[in-house]
Amino acid sequence: MVARLVRISLITLLGLAISAASTWGLSLFWIAIGGGALPLHGWIAMGLGILGTVGLTYGLMALAFKSHREGWDDRVDNTLDPGRDTPDDR
């Protein structure tokens, strides 16, 4: 159990290091192409955009998992699908 926790922690730290290095590299690129400083309204807009994207992703994934667990996908009637030859094809 401890070895698994250590492995997960190392993978997480590696992911964070890669993310930090990528962010640093993109910031250097932004400075190199002459990009200016981001004003307060830009930070607010970016923060709201990130939060909205994460919230939408969380909501859609929760719906996908709920649909899979409750079997909603199994109840779909595909008999009128033009790509299916017979109703028994799965």
> CA-based angle 33:34:40, to the nearest 5?
120
pLDDT digits 0-9 by tens, 10-69? 999 999 999 899 989 988 888 889 887 778 998 899 889 989 999 999 999 999 999 889
What pLDDT score was predicted for residue 85? 63
What pLDDT score was predicted for residue 35? 81
The span from the CA of 79 to the CA of 77, in Å, is 6
Structure tokens at 32: 């190199």
The span from the CA of 19 to the CA of 36, in Å, is 22
Give one word for 50, left, alpha or beta, with left for phi > 0 and alpha for psi -120 to 50.
alpha
DSSP 75: G
